[in-house]
Structure 1
Amino acid sequence: MSAALAAAPPPTLAEFLDWEPRQDAHFEWDGIQPLAMVGRTFLHTELASRVFDALRAALRGTPCSVIRADLRVMTANASRVRYPDLAVTCSPIGPADRVVPAPVFLPEVLSETTGAVDRGIKRQEYAALPSLTRYVMLAHDAPLAIVCDRASGFEERPERETLSIPEFGITLPLAVLYAGLLPG
């Protein structure tokens, strides 16, 4: 989730990249201004954690790493900064790195406030990453995965029963991922 910054923002990406690590919160750069990442709900955090746990178990013993929302993904010819909920890279990453190198899989949990951005501009930005094979958006109000992959030209495809991540040999039943998180 994000919100526009109230104070005078850094005017350039280079100044933003220097400024942002010194802030108490994460900020994305939308190509024009910083956007503060605002609080997430329990559902958002727990759903991302469940996907993280499944990915981490599946990737154990491989050269790939799953990373929580604490590292940047540079998009749009490195002119925008995003913090996806999770990122998977199979490229080496150093202990002091702040940017996910060559992300291959990006899952996001949609929210009421950022769903349109995640499905619109972020999907376009992520599709332009040459390393990315799959972008998945998990609905916040129903057990639903919206999958965009390189094979389909990053067109949206709903998955209602299972979330398949063939790159890592994972199939996650959506009922299990969402168990106990949605009312009724």
Structure 2
Amino acid sequence: MTLALRQPMTLPEFLAWEERQELRHEFDGFQPVAMTGGTVAHAIIQRNLAISIGGRLRGKPCAFYGSDLKVVTARTSRYPDGTVSCTKAASDSMTVPEPVVIFEVLSRSTASTDHITKNREYASITSVQRYVMLEQERIGATVFSRSEAGWKGDVLADDAILVMPEIGIEVPLLELYEGLDLSGSNDETPEDVPAR
């Protein structure tokens, strides 16, 4: 849901405004966008991110943060589904300092924003080395990473290993979907659907 405003806000105006709100909002560079609820699949993938990524980073200099903390760009403010930073954050901070890896779980309603708009925003943050977009309806990911050749994307299939050398860990993609039943509810053909 997007809030209707008479004139665009600036990022500092938004950040001051959001502090007074009960609900979380992202800022798209012009206006607040209210955060809506997700699906069970989304929640399971988020949980698995915290367990798999966070667990592998225990005792290391980098830390995994969930969707309660925002990532601020030059013009926008976002709440990714997961973020890794190797910069120590103050315990009362509401923003991830110098994010290195950002995770978004795709949904039908946000996929184009995640693929295009947020991709550009996250690429503009010099500390971000990798942006991982996880499919929700099937096992798969689109991963953008920073290299000498620029900001390049790869598509990972279900048997792939998500390699993140910038934080020193690797995770089998299947692990991020553990406990999720993807047994083809979207693959039904008309003859497979029972008559009502």
Which residue of structure 2 aligns with residue 172 of structure 1?
171
Compute the RMSD of aligned alpha carbons: 1.8
Which letter does structure 2 place at the counterpart of 1:14?
Answer: P
1:64-93 CA distance string (max 9 Å, x none): 111111111111x2x210110111111120
Question: Which structure has the bigger radius of gyration?
Answer: 2
Aligned pairs for 1:116-131 (under 5 A) are: 116-131=112-127
What percentage of residue pairs aligned between the two structures are identical?
40
Query: Partner of 2:29: helix, strand, or coil?
Result: coil
Which residue of structure 1 aligns with residue 57 of structure 2?
59
Which residue of structure 1 aligns with residue 135 of structure 2?
139
Aligned pairs for 1:24-39 (under 5 A) are: 24-39=22-37
Gapped regions of structure 2 (runs ≥ 5): 184-196
1:69-128 CA distance string (max 9 Å, x none): 1111111x2x21011011111112001111111000001100100000000010011011
How many residue pairs get matched? 180
Which letter does structure 1 place at the counterpart of 2:111?
Answer: G
Distance 1:10 1:67 in 2: 30
Query: Partner of 1:131: helix, strand, or coil?
Result: coil
How far apart are 1:7 and its partner, in Å? 6.7
1:82 matches 2:78: yes
Distance 1:58-1:92 versus aligned 2 partners, 3 A rule: same
How far apart are 1:6 and its partner, in Å? 4.7
Which letter does structure 1 place at the counterpart of 2:170?
Answer: T
Distance 1:183 1:80 in 2: 34
Distance 1:9 1:60 in 2: 45
Instruction: Say whether the 8 Å CA contact 1:27–1:36 is kept in structure 2.
Output: yes
Distance 2:7 2:35 in 1: 14
Instruction: Say whether the 8 Å CA contact 2:72–2:95 is kept in structure 1.
Output: yes
Gapped regions of structure 1 (runs ≥ 5): none
Distance 1:85 1:109 in 2: 6
Which residue of structure 2 aligns with residue 72 of structure 1?
70
1:34-64 CA distance string (max 9 Å, x none): 0011101111111011011111111111221
Which letter does structure 1 place at the counterpart of 2:100?
Answer: V
1:113 matches 2:109: yes
Which residue of structure 2 aligns with residue 101 of structure 1?
97
Instruction: Say whether the 8 Å CA contact 2:52–2:176 is kept in structure 1.
Output: no
Q: TM-score, normalised by structure 1?
A: 0.90
Distance 1:8 1:63 in 2: 45
Q: TM-score, normalised by structure 2?
A: 0.85
